[in-house]
Structure 1
Amino acid sequence: MKFETRNRTSPTINLTALIDCVFILVIFIVLGANFHRIQAMEVSIPEAKSSGKADAESLVITIPVTGAIDVQGKKIELDELRDVLQPMVSRFETVLLVADQSASVQRVVQILSDAQAAGFIAVSIATQNPEGHAP
């Protein structure tokens, strides 16, 4: 007697869905890595070797590493600077920035922007002499 046997079919795995998922994950990782930006940049401020002296008719702004800035001997917060500088445009010709070497460039740029918005045209940056004090 002859028994009828079923033909065995081998199971197949459809890889299309798996490849789609992996491809989407790769795209997500590549795009996510692309949005990572540099938050801070190390900048080395050069020393000047000039012997020029500071102009006596300049508005002196001293920029410490942190805390309030010093405008002509008065401590002022950074967000109040623009309002303080506007009445001083008629009395001073230029602005002289005396910054600590460790002060952030972002802070100096914001002060430069506030001075320009107040109406100052010329800005000088004081450097320290090799002996360690500003001119």
Structure 2
Amino acid sequence: MNFRTRSREEPEINLIPFIDVLLVVLIFLMLSTTYSKFTELQLRLPVADADAQRDYPKEVVVGVSSDGRYTVNKQAVVGRGADVLAMALGDAAKAGKESVIIVSADATSPHQAVITVLEAARRAGLHQVTFAAQSPAQAR
């Protein structure tokens, strides 16, 4: 009979698998988290590097002022609704549905004013819309 006391080995904690799991969780969280702060957006509109403005024979230029007033081919539009603007666009579009609407909005004009121009163009059946911008050299 063997009455010697067995030497008890202390259990050993292996930290390597634990660290591996933590690194995988950390990588997953880094990839799935979006870091966007809308309060920090600094926008300067409209400036674009574009070619010289082409002359469209069928163009209708819609101006949007900084306070939301509209002009169609340099004629003031009375009212700010989409219906009034759609009628003015329909009258100014001499080429019919082939006319090109050029939205020339002030950089500080309300976003809703530009959306109203797009809605009025849709109501008038004019689907070719583009935006006017100035080059960065002209903005200075």
TM-score normalised to structure 2 length: 0.57
Aligned to 1:104: 110
CA distance in 2, matches of 1:100, 1:67: 9
Secondary structure of the structure 2 residue equivalent to 1:123 = strand
Contact 1:89 1:119 in 2 (8 A): no
Contact 1:63 1:108 in 2 (8 A): yes
Aligned length: 92
CA distance in 2, matches of 1:101, 1:82: 23
Q: Deviations over 1:53-96 (max 9, x none)?
A: 13332100111011531111111132221121123334362000
Q: Does 1:131 align with 2:132?
A: no
**Which stretches of structure 1, 4 residues or more, deviate above 6 A after TM superposition?**
none
CA distance in 2, matches of 1:54, 1:107: 25
Q: Which runs of 5+ in 2 are unaligned?
A: 1-40
RMSD: 2.3
Change in Cα spacing, 1:47 to 1:116, as seen in structure 2 (3 Å) is: same
Q: Does 1:78 align with 2:80?
A: yes
Q: Does 1:113 align with 2:119?
A: yes
CA distance in 2, matches of 1:126, 1:54: 11
- Equivalent runs, 1:1-135 vs 2, <5 Å: 44=43, 45=45, 47-57=47-57, 58-76=59-77, 77-79=79-81, 80-91=84-95, 93-129=99-135, 130-132=137-139
CA distance in 2, matches of 1:126, 1:107: 15
Change in Cα spacing, 1:51 to 1:104, as seen in structure 2 (3 Å) is: same
TM-score normalised to structure 1 length: 0.58
* Structure showing greater relative contact order (alpha-carbon pairs closer than 8 Å, 6 or more residues apart): 2
CA distance in 1, matches of 2:68, 2:46: 24
